Structure 1
Amino acid sequence: MGFADDHLIPLIDEGLGNSAYLVDLGDGRALAVDVARDLRALSAAAERRGLSVAYAADTHLHADFLSGAVQLGHDHGATVLASAAGRRAFPHTPLADGDEVDLGGLTLRALATPGHSEEHLAFLLLDGNRELGVFTGGSLIVRSAARTDLLGADRAEELTRAQYRSLRRLTSLPDETAVWPTHGAGSFCSAPPGAERTTTIGAEERANPLLAAPNEDAFVRRLLAGLGSYPAYFDRLSEANRRGSAVLTRAPELPALDPAQVEALLADGGLVVDVRPAADYAAGHVPGSLSIPLRAQFATWLGWLLPQDAPLAFVARDDQDLAEVVWQSYKIGYERLAGHLAGGMAAWLAAGNLQLATDFLTADRTGDRPYVDVRQAAEYTAGHVPGAVHIELGDLAARTAEAPRGAVLACGHGERAMTAASLLERAGHRDFAVLRGAPEDYAVAHGQRLAQGDAQ
């Protein structure tokens, strides 16, 4: 078959910063690569083209999402293709370096490319002897390479050196070979900011700063120096993907709960997650609830801040999509979803329950409060309010005592800062406010200029 550009359908997860791929094989069958458990986008794309997924390939044991490969095996009868070294505990075709799979006109060749994970494969798509493109997963990505510390700091250097060799192997492919990575901008598996999610071998050789490193030692220093923190749930999902996700026979739902049921869940050790916008949470919320606004990044913060084994109830607005809450939770292995508060906060108050409010202030109303910046280290370094206390949101639950009394909590817009406020409230703090805006807004209102560099 001839391979046209429209045979490759990227499926982008903006929240996790990832791309999966659906490849139209031209005969009513398709190949899926690195697809997450939330198969809604893939199913819609396959249905539009009348495709059945014949193959589901995973480049590695993903740490940031549960793979949809097992589900595709159940739903479509797809053959799962994955590294033999991953020792997956479910039916699959185990592949080693150089193994090839005949897709019916096209060929998929496995290339061992350890580094991001030790069992990592890239998949080279061939039309005869012509290299069409390579699914690089977490090896070569746009202007970077994925992180190498997910197996622990003690193995980071070893895997970084393996990543160096993997990238050199990939760049031996022809310059015109398309590069189709999984991890992209916004991924905590490491990628620089930018709109481009695909590239070519030649473009990366010209512009990737890691490939410009003069030798292996310099490459190691550059890659390791650029690694920031990552969500706590990453430490669990690789093993969950090795075991394989449970097959879902129907779409999971979020049952309706009355206020008494929510109270009982809280009393029994459950947690309430408020997915409404930050302003709604600020105006009034269930005491002790955690604010995680429903947006693209919802799954990241759910998995970073909450235990996987606690039953969860959700507070939402009537116009919010509860299916999105469910699928973002299931995508990262959070399945103990007790339900949602029927009628929202109005029902909570009508039942005679109390609510708490949080000061949500524009920059001109914050006064001289201490300023706590809860953004990631790279964001803080790029520009922060002079004198700010920097505590990343992912670290805050363990460092609540370090937040100054009366502080204004701030991030880039207000969502993460409101989450921080809810964490402090759960820890017994009440004397704080949240900045409605960005560090730039605060600096302008207070006659300051943003500082750059690390905290002292």
Structure 2
Amino acid sequence: MEIISFRTPGLGDQSYLLTHEGHGILVDPQRDIDRFMAEVAARDVELRFVLETHLHNDYVSGGEQAALATGAQLVLPAAAAAAYPHTPAFHMEDIPGGRGLSIRPIHTPGHTPEHTSYLVLIDGEPVAVFSGGSLLVSSAGRPDLLGPQRARTLARLQHGSLHRLAGLPGGVELLPTHGEGSFCTATGAGRYTSTIADELAGNPLLAVGDAEAFADELLAAPMPIPAFYEYMGPANTMGVPPMPPLGVPALGVEDLADQPEGTRVVDIRPRARQAGGLLPGAVGIELGTDFGSWAGWLLPYQAPLVLVADPGQDVAEAVTQLARIGVDTVRGVITDPGPAADQTFELLDLSAFAARLARPGAQLLDVRMPGEHAAAALPGGIHRFLADLVAHGIPAELDASRPVLVACGSGRRASIAAGLLLAAGYRPVVLTGAGVTDLLRRPAAA
């Protein structure tokens, strides 16, 4: 048996391909299935099953399309009630995989009500479990993504599910879908894979013996929920079309006038290039592994998009990340914004930013997550999480007649905030290459 993992760092997720004596099983594939199909072909295996642990909240699935492309059997949790053909997985009803391999579904509600983990047995012996968003490495899947009304009930169910999986033999390999960087984890997940024995020894949530205390622990400090999550479950229930073409038309600035109402301009160039000039109203989200997540969180879902990129920049990667969350609305790319890109902002390193912050009347906007701010805050700073600048607007305490110094953890979120501030008439000054904790470590917080 071999297990190949596919990391998607920007979403903090991991898909898997299990191979055994010429047969393959694909677990929790994302929409861009070509990378999985290439691995299936390279290993010359017959894909027998595509398993989904739950109706995902953070991406649209490639499960249906992978099954259609290969003739594999698509297996979903029995309670998923998806609108397309699939085989329902019932609790503890083994699915024969052939050649000594079988899959045992284990109902593990908590992250979602239908959530199902899959125990892999070879010749009747358990060897690995695909735990999706249930038991994670040093953590557990969040129970609050379906809304506060159901969060406590799901948290109590998650307690039972974690202990159900923890009762497996210690040598069983733990293979979760969600991990480090995922907004689906209840606490900071560590390594990507583990074993049941290691989790029994080191997962703090398994040490919480009471379901109510466990729910208190998971729900004590709610984390923000990305805005695009609300669209993922319904899409995965109804079915997801194949990936869109990755090539998009080249446009000029003059073509923006011909775009549909509501079109948004997204500048994916490096932040230093954005600081030199954004198109009016553009949102700057430099291309990185989490580009799609921030675009989905900050922009109206399914709004028509025009990208601004440097010549030679990997526009196909941007289109792929958007497609993973069901956004197929990129209408073109501008690679020469020219003099129309006249909305500028300042980028400063730590020393220069600290000096500017020490001036009388300086105003600081901290755009980190609430938990980050609660753990370490600069006195006198104004906090508003980046996504809340869209959801709730610019803080009223900020004076538009004076520069606004913006900081986060590294400069990424602060540079995104700069575009939002420019569009609202403010003059942003961004700390880049450092963050609030670096400012706090300076002598006298200077």
1:259 aligned partner: 253
Q: Pick closer, same or farther for the CA change 1:362–1:21 going to 2, 3 Å.
A: same
What one-letter code is carried by the residue in structure 2 that aligns with 1:299?
G
1:148 aligns with 2:135: no
Q: Deviations over 1:376-421 (max 9, x none)?
A: 1222233332332211111112231336123211112212111111
| Identity among equivalent pairs (%) | 36
Matching residue of 1:289: 282
Q: CA deviation at 1:326?
A: 0.9
Asked if the contact 2:404–2:426 (Cα under 8 Å) also holds between the matched residues in 1, the reply is no
Partner of 2:122: 127
**Aligned residue number for residue 413 of structure 2:** 416
The two structures have a TM-score, normalised by structure 2, of 0.93
Checking the alignment, whether the CA contact within 8 Å between 2:139 and 2:189 is kept in structure 1 is no
Query: Could you tell me how far apart the structure 1 residues matched to 2:179 and 2:410 are?
Result: 22
Per mean C-alpha deviation after superposition, the further-off stretch among 209-218 and 136-145 is 209-218
What is the aligned partner in structure 2 of residue 183 from structure 1? 178
- Structure 2: how far apart are the matches of 1:182 and 1:114? 15
Q: How does 1:285-324 map to 2 (within 5 A)?
A: 285-324=278-317
Give the match for residue 454 of structure 1: none
Which amino acid is 2:350 matched to? A
Q: Which residue of 2 aligns with 1:363?
A: 350
Shift of 1:25: 2.4
Q: Point out where structure 1 has 5 or more consecutive residues left out of the alignment.
A: 450-456
Please give the alpha-carbon distance, in whole angstroms, between the structure 1 residues aligned to 2:185 and 2:9.
14
Q: For residue 382 of structure 2, what is the aligned residue in structure 1? A: 389
User: What is the CA–CA distance in structure 2 between the aligned matches of 1:440 and 1:377, rounded to whole Å?
Assistant: 14
How much does 1:214 deviate?
3.1
| Aligned amino acid, residue 76 of structure 1 | T
- The letter of the residue matching 1:364 is S
Question: How far is the alpha carbon of 1:39 from its aligned partner?
Answer: 2.2
- Does residue 98 (structure 1) correspond to residue 92 (structure 2)? The answer is yes
310, 315, 329: which is aligned to 1:336?
329
Residue 359 of structure 1 deviates from its aligned partner by: 1.4
The answer to whether structure 1 residue 20 and structure 2 residue 15 are counterparts is yes
Would the aligned equivalents of 2:277 and 2:341 in 1 still touch at CA under 8 Å? no
Supply the distance in 2 between the matched residues of 1:360 and 1:32 (Cα, whole angstroms).
Answer: 44
The CA distance in 2 between the partners of 1:332 and 1:54, in whole Å, is 26
Task: Note if contact 1:140-1:146 (Cα within 8 Å) is conserved in structure 2.
Answer: yes
Q: Does the aligned pair in 1 maintain the 2:186–2:218 contact within 8 Å?
A: no
CA RMSD of aligned residues (A): 1.8
The structural deviation recorded for 1:430 is: 2.3
- Give secondary structure in 1 for the equivalent of 2:207: coil
Deviation at 1:71, TM superposition (A): 1.3
Does the alignment pair 1:236 with 2:231?
yes
Q: How far is the alpha carbon of 1:51 from its aligned partner?
A: 3.2
CA distance in 1, matches of 2:311, 2:21: 43
Structure 2 residue runs without a partner (length 5+): none
In the aligned structure 2, how far is the partner of 1:425 from the partner of 1:40?
39
Asked whether the equivalents of residues 363 and 445 of structure 1 are also in contact (C-alpha less than 8 Å), the reply is: no
Question: Whole-Å Cα distance in 1 between the matches of residues 185 and 84 of structure 2?
Answer: 29
Closer, same or farther: CA 108–158 of 1 in aligned 2, 3 Å: same
Residue 72 of structure 2 corresponds to residue 78 of structure 1: yes
> SS where residue 414 of structure 2 aligns?
helix
Q: Map Cα deviations across residues 290-331 of structure 1 (whole Å, 9 max, x no partner).
A: 011110111110110111231100001123211101110000
TM-score (norm 1): 0.91
- Seen in structure 2, the aligned counterparts of structure 1 residues 227 and 444 have a Cα distance that, compared at 3 Å, is closer
C-alpha distance 433-9 of structure 1, shift in aligned 2 (>3 A): same
1:226 Cα shift?
4.5
Counterpart contact for 1:143–1:208, Cα < 8 Å = yes
Q: Secondary structure at the match of 1:158?
A: helix
Q: Which amino acid aligns with 2:197?
A: G
Q: Is 1:64 the counterpart of 2:62 in the alignment?
A: no
Which stretch of structure 1 is more off in the superposition, 373-382 or 412-421? 373-382
Greater shift, 300-309 or 376-385, is seen at: 376-385
Is 1:172 matched with 2:164? no
Q: How many residues align?
A: 434
Asked whether the 8 Å contact 1:113–1:122 carries over to 2, the reply is yes
CA shift for structure 1 position 247: 2.9
CA contact (8 A) 2:384 2:395 kept: no
Task: Give the drift of 1:444.
Answer: 5.3
Pairwise CA distance, 1:207: 1.0
The answer to whether the 8 A contact 1:185-1:192 is kept is no
Does residue 435 (structure 1) correspond to residue 422 (structure 2)? The answer is: no
Distance 1:280 1:403, change over 3 A: farther
Partner of residue 132, structure 2: 137
Distance 2:332 2:397 in 1: 33
Q: Look up the SS of the partner of 2:205 in the other structure.
A: coil
Alpha-carbon distance in 2 for matches of 1:363, 1:174: 50
SS in 2 for 1:202: helix
One-letter amino acid of the structure 2 residue matched with residue 358 of structure 1: F
Question: Conserved in 1, the CA contact under 8 Å of 2:140 and 2:187?
Answer: no
Shift of 1:99: 1.9
Shift in Å, 1:194: 5.7
